[in-house]
Amino acid sequence: MRESQRRELKLDNLDDVVAEVERLASTTVATTGKHSFPEIVRHLALTNSMMTGRIPAPKPPLIMKLVLPFIRATILKGSVKPGVKLPANAEAAFWPDEKIAIEDAIQMLKESVAYYKQHGPLPVHPIFGKATREQLDRLTCSHAAMHLSFVHPS
C-alpha cells in the first residue's frame, strides 16, 4: 500500500468512533501514513480531552490565529483534511513520541469520550473559538474518520 492510500470512512457520533476503533483492534491492521494505529487512537483521545478542558491544549501559533478566521467555518462543517504541519510544541502535545499499546490507547479514548458525554466541550474551543456542540461533534467525527481512514484491516 502507498502512504497516501486511505479508505472511505464516515463516522456519525462518538460511539461510532469507539466502535470503529474496537473493530479495527479486533483484527490485524496496517497503516498508510506516518502514524501507527495506537498513535492515531491516542491522538484522537488527546484532542478530544483538550476540547473538554480535561487536559490543556497547546497555544495556537500566530499564523494559525491569523488564518483561522478565514477557514473556521469550513473546518467546523467537518472538512478535516490530512497533511497539516504542526509547530513543534503542538506536534509533541498531539503526537507524543512514547510508544503505547493499542489497549491503553483505546482505554484513553473511551475515558475521553465518557468525559465528553458527561461534561461536554468547553464553551470556547481552544483553537476554533465559540462553536455549538453539534459543530464540535461533527468536527470530532470528521477528524476521527480522517485519521482512521489511514488504518486498513488486513
Q: Where are the domains of the chain?
A: 14-153
Q: Band of the pLDDT at 146, cuts 50, 70, 90? A: very high
Q: Calculate what percentage of the chain has a pLDDT beyond 90.
A: 56
pTM: 0.88
Q: Taking the CB of residue 70, how many other CB atoms lie within 10 A of it?
A: 8
CA torsion angle 10 15 18 19 (round to 10): -70
Closest CA to 83 of 149, 8, 15, 17: 149
User: Rg of the chain over CA atoms, in angstroms?
Assistant: 15
Is the distance from CB of 100 to CB of 37 less than 8 angstroms?
no
Instruction: Using the predicted structure, report yes or no on whether residue 55 has a pLDDT greater than 80.
Output: yes
In the chain, where do the E strands start and end? 29-31, 124-125, 129-130, 151-153
Question: pLDDT tens for residues 98-124?
Answer: 999 999 999 999 999 999 999 988 888
